[in-house]
Amino acid sequence: MKKLSLLLAGVALVAFSFTSCKKDYTCTCAFTYGDYSYDYSYELLKMKKGDAEDTCTEWSDYYLAYGYEGECTLD
């Protein structure tokens, strides 16, 4: 029984080591431009959290560069 438990623990450890830290995220943006308001959601698929944050920030910077007011947040 002890050997079986150790074997299962070893298999679980190996399986866990092959899993990726990549997940799906959503970048939600809310902006205004004059009298207009815009709400967007962008699906960021299979990305590391840091990469998803960078991408969401780039979307926010893009809109701000064109005179929109608002922000994007990572969900």
pLDDT digits (tens, 9 = 90+) for 44-74: 999 999 999 999 999 999 999 999 999 999 9
Q: Tens digit of pLDDT for each residue in 31-40?
A: 999 999 999 9
Contacts with 56 (C-beta within 8 Å, 6 or more apart), sequence order: 25, 27, 42, 44, 72, 73, 74
Domain ranges of the chain: 21-74
Predicted TM-score (pTM) of the model is: 0.69
Listed in order, strand segments (DSSP E) in 13-58 are 23-33, 36-47
